[in-house]
Structure 1
Amino acid sequence: MTSPSGAGVEVRNVHKSFRVDGQSVTVLDDVSLTIGMGEFVSVIGPSGCGKSTLLKVVAGLLDADSGSVTIDGESVSSASADKKIGLVPQSPALLPWKTVLENVQLPLNVNRRSNGGRSIGDAETLLGRFGLGAATKKYPGQLSGGMQQRAAIARAFVFDPAIMLMDEPFSALDEMNRDLQRIALLDFWQSNRKAVMFVTHSVPEAIMLSDRIVVMAAHPGRIAEIIDVDLPRPRNEDVYATDAFRDLEKIVRDALRAQTERAHV
């Protein structure tokens, strides 16, 4: 389960369980995964397969029971202190009383002493790259859901992190808006390659964005299959209409269907 480039994320033999109704339930079972620097990897699988739990372990929001995670060769705690991890949750989590620009600048104003010597992106430039240059003085409530999520993504990039973790960032959007946002993300990522771990339920989204797709099995959560996405880059919406895209869609859907059926046996 290795990638062709230098390791950005190294997950090794991770186990994670929770107490449910007084009993231990294994959520992640011996999960190992490498995401190379500059590689976009999507994680997909049946509900309850541990996709978001795995992302939270990589982000340092949850501790694994056993196993290890390193980010750019460092422990998660060290990488987090060095602000090498960018996180985009399902909800934009923007502060409603601050403007869009102030929200994106917010990480720069937290623990200012630790920012010395760091690579810091210009918030206004980032917002412009995400098509929000005219919205810098607006408040989150004045933006559409898609625009709010783009602002959240821009905020995550402000420290130029080594890796980006995204937990279904477009799941609350309708399909048309979702497609617009994924293309905007793709355009930005293709010009500013980061190691990305992207959790999604959408097969077309995973194919369009990714270099590899990790299909997870449930009960307990583990990696069932890794599918290479060999579509050429850069990509745009024209890729959807190609035979290669449709062939990959069938392969991923078949793999996902097999795991979903096993999860309900």
Structure 2
Amino acid sequence: MTAGAGVEVRGVTKRFGVDGRQVTVLDDIDLTIGMGEFVSVIGPSGCGKSTLLKVVAGLLDAEEGTVTIDGESVTAASRDKKIGLVPQSPALLPWKTVLENVELPLRINRKPGGSRQAGDAERLLSTFGLGHAVKKYPGQLSGGMQQRAAIARAFVFDPAIMLMDEPFSALDEMNRDLQRMALLDFWQSNRKAVMFVTHSVPEAIMLSDRIVVMAAHPGRIAEIIDVDLPRPRGEDAWATDEYRDLERTVRETLRAQMEKAHV
């Protein structure tokens, strides 16, 4: 076990049954995400990015290998509320207010001995720029605001790690920029271990400490690229030579894997 590891994946292999045969979706994955580290996972469609995240979250079982969260099994980490999960869609209950949606995990599954109070949910919403919307219903919010509420809900137990599966994929580019910067600002003041699945190269570079580029058929780690842009980061990072160099490197690496996936 690696000291200070938020997430430790060792030798994970995952197979699915397809048309009567077993297809290897993930092949011998090794990955460590340190406490306070933001790691993005990017790769061709079908390379197993979301499958890997679901294995780490405990939503899928691997045929081989192990996953530990903050030194515990995934089952124990889930029990201890150490995992925050943000899916692609907000999945807010339409008949409950925004505040009630964010409070819901506290009300139905309180962590034993935990100190979180309902008031924390309101403070979290204010942090994400939704203090004015606590009494509104999801249908009264834009898609970007709904996703921010979903992210606030995932943080409400103060988890050790955050697992985020393309949370901004349904947004237009302008809203996506706004939401990723809001997430970046919040994360930079509340460092968590984050595993962030995305198709967006700019998003991966702006948010991450490292970018995991995956290969497909079967899914495996092709390369891990360090993002050495200084923190804290703001929108001015887009204009730097360092950012442009990183973007070129990531795109070339990703393009090579996409070409291999279609050979």
When normalised by structure 2's length, the TM-score is: 0.98
2:186 alignment counterpart: 188
Shift of 1:117: 1.8
2:89 alignment counterpart: 91
Shift of 1:119: 4.2
Aligned partners of 2:33, 2:116: CA distance in 1, in Å?
Answer: 23
Aligned partners of 1:119, 1:57: CA distance in 2, in Å?
Answer: 29
Deviates more, 1:147-156 or 1:103-112: 103-112
Q: Are 2:116 and 1:120 equivalent residues in the alignment? A: yes
Secondary structure class of the residue paired with 2:54: helix
Structure 2 unaligned residues grouped into runs of 5+: none
1:47 alignment counterpart: 45
Matched letter for residue 87 of structure 2: P
1:202-243 CA-partner distances (Å, limit 9, x unpaired) = 000000000000000000000000000000000011101111
Kindly indicate whether the alpha-carbon contact (under 8 Å) linking 1:42 and 1:197 is maintained by their aligned counterparts in 2: yes
Aligned partners of 2:64, 2:112: CA distance in 1, in Å?
Answer: 34
Matched letter for residue 96 of structure 2: K
Q: Are 2:58 and 1:60 equivalent residues in the alignment? A: yes
| Match 2:214 to one of 205, 213, 216 | 216
Distance 1:73 1:102, change over 3 A: same
Aligned partners of 1:217, 1:76: CA distance in 2, in Å?
Answer: 25
Structure 1 unaligned residues grouped into runs of 5+: none
Shift of 1:118: 1.7
Shift of 1:111: 3.1
Aligned partners of 2:181, 2:86: CA distance in 1, in Å?
Answer: 16
Q: CA RMSD in A?
A: 1.2
Secondary structure class of the residue paired with 1:35: strand
1:264 alignment counterpart: 262
Aligned partners of 1:23, 1:210: CA distance in 2, in Å?
Answer: 37
Kindly indicate whether the alpha-carbon contact (under 8 Å) linking 1:46 and 1:217 is maintained by their aligned counterparts in 2: yes
Instruction: Return structure 1 stretches of 4+ with deviation > 3 angstroms.
Output: none
| Match 1:254 to one of 235, 252, 263 | 252
Percent identity for Structure 1 against Structure 2: 84
1:197 alignment counterpart: 195
1:158 alignment counterpart: 156
Secondary structure class of the residue paired with 1:214: strand
1:101 alignment counterpart: 99
Secondary structure class of the residue paired with 1:164: strand
| Match 2:14 to one of 13, 16, 20 | 16
Q: Are 2:131 and 1:133 equivalent residues in the alignment? A: yes
Kindly indicate whether the alpha-carbon contact (under 8 Å) linking 1:119 and 1:160 is maintained by their aligned counterparts in 2: no
2:71 alignment counterpart: 73
1:36 alignment counterpart: 34
Shift of 1:90: 0.1
Secondary structure class of the residue paired with 2:24: strand
